[in-house]
């Protein structure tokens, strides 16, 4: 049967804590796979907020949702902005009440710019404040998932920065977990997950 992939394990951790009518955030909408998953999970009574700094990503996600979602959540708000502004994206009434926040870092495959410009990647300067904001948004028992991609230029530094952040979280405040295949190449993606205690 095999172990769950990193992405599936992230969804499993979320699934266990996010139910119909719940509230979730996709902090890196990308092509919208996790956004769609979150919308299905919360159902028509729920709320999903999402952001991405690339307008093409938001457009692609909107199309995916239009095709794959029979009934959207009561609140579905996808914005083209950076996740370090999460506090502005998610209304204050949800502070401390969000069930799950998902991050899928790195760059969006298939978005190579015609000019040959480097792909847009997530960077620690915005990722770290976004993670801190996400943790504040969570309810006790809520979960934050971060898929890390150490394989591309800058990805290793970002993964190290996120690990340092997670390692320093006080145990009374949260539990931090790593899910990683031990016998795959070191640059393979892996998961850090944080469950808020209080």
The binding site for ligand SAH (CB under 6 A) comprises 28, 30, 51-54, 57, 82-83, 104, 106-109, 120, 122, 126, 149
The alpha-carbon radius of gyration of the chain (Å, integer) is: 16
Residue closest to ligand SAH when measured from CB atoms: 106
Both tokens of residue 160?
A: 């190290």
Q: C-beta of 52: minimal distance to ligand SAH in Å?
A: 4
Q: C-beta of 57: minimal distance to ligand SAH in Å?
A: 4
Both tokens of residue 158?
A: 């970002």
DSSP class of residue 93?
Answer: G
Nearer to ligand SAH, 83 or 139 (CB): 83
Query: Which residues have CB under 8 Å from 31's CB, separation 6+?
Result: 57, 60, 61, 64, 108, 110
In DSSP terms, 102 is beta-bridged to 26, 145
Q: C-beta of 175: minimal distance to ligand SAH in Å?
A: 25
Nearer to ligand SAH, 43 or 81 (CB): 81
Q: C-beta of 142: minimal distance to ligand SAH in Å?
A: 20
Dist CA 36 CA 38 (whole Å): 5
Nearer to ligand SAH, 23 or 35 (CB): 35
């Amino acid at each position: 049967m095999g172990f769950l992939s990193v992405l599936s394990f992230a969804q499993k951790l979320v699934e266990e804590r996010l139910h119909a009518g719940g509230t979730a955030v996709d902090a890196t909408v990308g092509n919208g796979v996790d956004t769609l998953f979150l919308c299905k999970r919360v159902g028509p009574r729920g709320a999903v907020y999402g952001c991405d700094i690339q307008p093409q990503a938001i457009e692609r996600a909107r199309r995916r949702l239009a095709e794959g979602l029979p009934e959207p959540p009561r609140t579905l708000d996808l914005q083209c902005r950076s996740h370090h502004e999460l506090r502005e994206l998610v209304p204050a009434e949800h502070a401390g009440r969000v069930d799950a926040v998902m991050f899928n870092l790195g760059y969006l495959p298939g978005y190579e710019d015609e000019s040959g410009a480097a792909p847009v990647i997530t960077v620690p300067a915005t990722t770290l404040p976004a993670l801190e904001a996400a943790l504040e948004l969570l309810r006790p028992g809520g979960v934050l998932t971060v898929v890390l991609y150490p394989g591309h230029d800058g990805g290793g530094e970002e993964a190290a920065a996120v690990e340092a952040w997670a390692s320093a979280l006080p145990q009374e405040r949260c539990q931090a977990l790593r899910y990683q295949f031990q016998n795959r190449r070191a640059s393979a993606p892996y998961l850090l997950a944080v469950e808020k205690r209080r």
